Copies of this chain bind each other. A is one copy, B any other.
Amino acid sequence: MKQGILYGVGLGPGDQELMTLKAARIVSAAKLIAYPADENGASFARRIAAAQISPGAEEMPVPIPMRVERDPARRAYDKGAEAIAARLEKGEDVVFLCAGDPLFYASFMYLLARLGSRFEVEIVPGVTSLTAVAARLARPLAARSDVLKVLPATLPEARLREELKTAQAAAIIKVGRHFDKVRAILDDLDLTARAAIVTDASLGDERAGPLSEVPAGARPYFSTILIYAGAEQW
């Protein structure tokens, strides 16, 4: 029997209109829709796609623990992958919803690692939070021969510092509780004046502006910091 196809569909950063035409077409036509869900069943990916999901579609939440210790996360992905595999083996297509892009700091790649060699997979790229944040700020991400670095704020301070010293352009993601550490490094490297921050980029109460205007001690949780220190490019 012919196996089903696994679709990994990027939905963009949160605004429903930043979904691609291809994502909207595939989600609308899907009979079986899977998505990552937290312990309470809430799913940001499902929320983005909600208006496109057909009323008759079957839904398959895949519980993914948010605080990722290695072993429970592995078990969750193993279990989710097996549930999806069982349906693909019956010849059913499975459309897996992904906030942002499926291969850019996203959980879809853990399913891909488990299922990619056994099943046909089609991936639909999506708008990342990176370009959405730059658009919100109306600031360049990178131009010409700039080196652009994407730096998770979870990295050790020394590593962040070294990477920032040699970047013309950088995006610091996953800022969360690392805000004070990041701010201190940027102050020290004289980069604060070239930095801007977007908080809660994909949720309701987005705020955006120069990093220098964020009061000391503030720790915006869902935030991305963009630094542009390219040469005079224009």
By a beta-carbon cutoff of 8 Å, the part of chain A in contact with chain B is 10, 12-13, 15-22, 24-25, 68, 74, 77, 101-106, 109-110, 112-114, 116, 121, 123-128, 131-132, 134-136, 138-152, 154-155, 159, 162-163, 166, 233-234
Q: In the complex, A10 Cα to B113 Cα: how many Å?
A: 31
List B contacts of A146 (CB < 8 A). Answer: 105, 152
Closest 9 interchain pairs by CB?
Answer: A17-B22, A125-B131, A123-B135, A148-B150, A125-B135, A103-B134, A101-B131, A109-B140, A113-B234
Nearest-CB distance from A61 to chain B (Å)?
Answer: 20
In the complex, A121 Cα to B116 Cα: how many Å?
42
Indicate which residue in B25, B109, B140, B143 contacts A234 across the interface (CB closer than 8 Å).
B109
Cβ of B104 and Cβ of A142 under 8 Å apart? Answer: yes
Q: List 14 A-B contacts (CB under 8 A).
A: A16-B21, A17-B25, A18-B124, A20-B127, A103-B140, A104-B142, A105-B143, A109-B140, A123-B134, A123-B135, A123-B136, A125-B127, A126-B127, A142-B150
A134 pairs with B104, CB closer than 8 A: yes
Q: How far is the CA of A89 from the CA of B183 in the complex (A)?
A: 40
Within the complex, the shortest CB–CB distance from A96 to chain B, in Å, comes to 13
Tell me if B20 and A135 are in contact (CB < 8 A): no
Contact A147 B155 (CB under 8 A): yes
A139: B residues at CB distance < 8 A:
103
A188 vs chain B, min Cβ distance (A): 19
Tell me the smallest distance from the CB of A27 to a CB of chain B, in Å: 12
Contact present for B105 and A144 (CB under 8 Å): yes
Minimal Cβ-Cβ distance residue in B for A52: B21
Q: Are A18 and B17 in contact (CB under 8 A)?
A: no
Distance between Cα atoms of A213 and B191 in the complex (Å): 42
What distance in Å separates the Cβ of A86 from its nearest Cβ neighbour in chain B? 20
